[in-house]
């Protein structure tokens, strides 16, 4: 346990001690990750269900910081079926981005590390466990098999290069045999595909000459350049206004069907989820509190947190004096309590909530919830 001084801050000495210990831990992970010529057999794995493109099982991703270990993702399991969209929803800070960065292996290293769990990626003829896949190999998976669309398109584009050069670069990197002329032609095609009018002209423009929506289209074009099996979209429309948001979502949906890939859509916006997702995962403080089909989650939300999220969403035609907001805030993941993380904000607590973290209860074949309110009702637990 970290010792704090009278002001509640860690002393410099204590901080240095933690930092030294962290380095010991992270060096072990880093060494593993940076190995060269690792035999494929070490990271080959079997999918539990071959109709899934990704299966995440009991994923733990921690950040080893100078003030302590941040358990950003603490035992998350879910899968993404081929050709489907899974929505991941939860308040800011609940571990959505860290989950997706873990899948991409783009965590801020060396502090951020996947400490345990499996991420099985279906590559058709074989499957890889991304947790064990070395950096060398990961470089080929990123872009080719999995690609990511970030919230703020300006950060994904380089302001000093023309749009065309940036799309060309992605294509050339993943298709080393393609001629310069073919790359250029394909880039223009891609820009056209994502609904950019006059793609030849945009090809020669700089990012600052485009609107936010146009930039996000360019980023999507880059993400789709190699027909990835999985597209991770982390708050892809949060920086855009509502009408553009609808266009971008529509575009994503159409492109996904065209290349028959899957989407993992991360958002704090339930409206976006309702429109896009086949399955929904509700995250709270680094764990999944509820998951199910979109219908189950919207028609029959079980966890008090999901109910709270639903209640805090405005509904057209329903008049309210003030919009509901869940009291309190997401707990600090450095010092998590042993009981249900939502307990201190929950208005529906029962006696057992003060006990250990609730087990996962199956409400249907697809619907699960981690909450004591359902333990006795259903009688069966699988956690």
Ligand X SMILES: Nc1ncnc2c1ncn2[C@@H]1O[C@H](COP(=O)(O)OP(=O)(O)O)[C@@H](O)[C@H]1O
- What x/- string results for residues 96 through 135 when contact with Mg ion is judged by CB under 5 A? -x--------------------------------------
Give how many residues touch Mg ion by CB under 5 A: 1
Segment interacting with ligand X (CB under 6 A) among 40-48, 107-115, 119-127, 292-300: 107-115
Based on its alpha-carbon atoms, the radius of gyration of the chain, rounded to whole angstroms, reads 22
Q: What are 338's two structure tokens?
A: 């042993």
Q: Is 103 in the site for ligand X (CB under 6 A)?
A: no
Q: For 236, which DSSP code? A: T
Tokens describing residue 261:
């890939």
Sheet with 112-122: list strands edge to edge: 44-45, 127-129, 112-122, 52-65, 68-81
Residue 94 near residue 134 (C-beta atoms within 8 A): no
93 versus 212: smaller Cβ distance to ligand X: 93
Vertex 225, ends 114 and 144: CA angle to 5°? Answer: 35
Q: Pick out residues in 317-376 that bind ligand X (CB under 6 A).
A: 333
Pairing of strands 279-284, 85-89: parallel
Nearer to ligand X, 11 or 65 (CB): 65
Query: How far apart are CB 92 and ligand X at their closest, in Å?
Result: 4
Residue 279 C-beta: closest distance to ligand X, Å: 18
| Interaction mask 60-99, Mg ion, x per CB under 5 A | -------------------------------------x--
Using CB under 6 A as the binding rule, whether residue 76 contacts ligand X is answered as no
Pairwise CA distance, residues 221 & 169, whole Å: 12
Judged by CB under 6 A, the stretch of 49-57, 91-99, 137-145, 214-222 that binds ligand X is 91-99
Candidates 50-58, 87-95, 119-127, 221-229; binding stretch for ligand X (CB under 6 A): 87-95
Integer CA distances (angstroms), 146 to 54, 99, 138, 326, 346, in order: 10, 14, 10, 35, 37
The residue range among 108-116, 170-178, 344-352, 375-383 that interacts with ligand X, by the rule CB under 6 A, is 108-116
Cα-based angle 66, 357, 350 (whole degrees, multiple of 5): 130
Q: Which of residues 36-65 bind ligand X (CB under 6 A)?
A: 63, 65
Check residue 93 for interaction with ligand X (CB under 6 A). yes
Give the residue carrying structure tokens 């699988």: 382
Q: How far apart are CA 218 and CA 71, in angstroms?
A: 34
Binding test (CB under 6 A) with ligand X, winner from 22, 97, 166, 267 = 97
The binder of ligand X chosen from 98, 230, 239, 264 (CB under 6 A): 98
Q: Which stretch binds ligand X (CB under 6 A): 1-9, 11-19, 86-94, 210-218?
A: 86-94
Of these partners, Mg ion, ligand X, none, which one is at the site of residue 26 (CB under 5 to 8 Å by kind)?
A: none
Q: Burial, 62: exposed, middle or buried (Cβ in 10 Å; 0-12, 13-18, 19+)?
A: buried
Q: How far is CA 154 from CA 158, 169, 212, 318, in A?
A: 7, 17, 8, 37
Residue 63 interacts with which of ligand X, Mg ion, none, CB < 5 to 8 Å by class: ligand X
Q: Which is closer to Mg ion, CB of 92 or CB of 185? A: 92
CB of 68 to ligand X, least distance (A): 10
Size of the site for ligand X (CB under 6 A): 16
**What stretch of H or E contains 232?**
strand 230-234
373 binds, among ligand X, Mg ion, none (CB under 5 to 8 A by kind): none
Joined tokens for residue 322? 């003030």
- Rounded to 5°, the CA angle 114-73-362 comes to 120
Residue 323, Cβ density class (10 Å: 0-12 exposed, 13-18 middle, ≥19 buried): exposed
> What would the two tokens of residue 248 be?
């971008």
111 binds ligand X (CB under 6 A): yes
C-beta separation of 242 from 50 below 8 A: no
The residue among 111 and 135 lying less far from ligand X, judged by its C-beta, is 111
Chain contacts with ligand X (rule: CB under 6 A): 63, 65, 70, 72, 90, 92-98, 108, 111-112, 333
Chain contacts with Mg ion (rule: CB under 5 A): 97
């Amino acid at each position: 346990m970290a010792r704090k001084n009278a002001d509640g801050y860690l002393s410099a000495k204590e901080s240095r001690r933690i930092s030294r210990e962290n380095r010991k831990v992270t060096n072990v992970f880093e060494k593993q990750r940076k190995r060269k010529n690792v035999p494929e057999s070490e990271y080959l794995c079997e999918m539990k269900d071959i109709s899934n493109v990704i299966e995440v099982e009991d994923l733990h991703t921690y950040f080893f910081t100078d003030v302590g270990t941040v358990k950003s993702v603490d035992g998350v399991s879910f899968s993404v079926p081929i050709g489907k969209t899974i929505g991941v929803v939860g308040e800011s800070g609940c571990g959505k981005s860290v989950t997706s960065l873990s899948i991409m292996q783009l965590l801020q290293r060396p502090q951020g590390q996947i400490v345990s769990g499996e991420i099985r990626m279906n590559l058709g003829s074989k499957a890889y466990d991304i947790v064990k896949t070395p950096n060398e190999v990961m470089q080929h998976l990123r872009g080719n098999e999995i690609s990511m669309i970030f919230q703020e398109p300006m950060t994904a584009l380089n302001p000093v290069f023309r749009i065309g050069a940036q799309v060309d670069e992605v294509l050339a990197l993943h298709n080393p045999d393609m001629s310069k002329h073919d790359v250029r032609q394909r880039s223009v095609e891609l820009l056209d595909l994502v609904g950019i009018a006059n793609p030849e002209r945009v090809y020669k423009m700089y990012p600052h000459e485009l609107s936010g929506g146009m930039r996000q289209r360019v980023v999507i074009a880059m993400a789709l350049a190699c027909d990835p099996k999985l597209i991770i979209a982390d708050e892809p429309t949060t920086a855009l206004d509502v009408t553009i948001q609808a266009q971008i979502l529509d575009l994503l949906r159409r492109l996904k069907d065209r290349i028959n890939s899957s989407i993992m859509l991360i958002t704090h916006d339930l409206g976006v989820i309702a429109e896009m997702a086949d399955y929904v995962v509700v995250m709270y403080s680094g764990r999944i509190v509820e998951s199910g089909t979109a219908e189950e989650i919207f028609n029959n939300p079980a966890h008090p947190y999901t109910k709270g999220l639903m209640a805090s969403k405005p509904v057209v035609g329903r008049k309210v004096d003030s919009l509901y907001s869940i009291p309190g805030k997401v707990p600090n993941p450095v010092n998590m309590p042993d009981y249900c993380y939502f307990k201190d904000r929950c208005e529906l607590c029962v006696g057992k909530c003060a006990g250990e973290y609730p087990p996962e209860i199956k409400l249907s074949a697809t619907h699960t919830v981690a909450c004591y309110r359902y333990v006795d009702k259903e009688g069966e637990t699988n956690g």
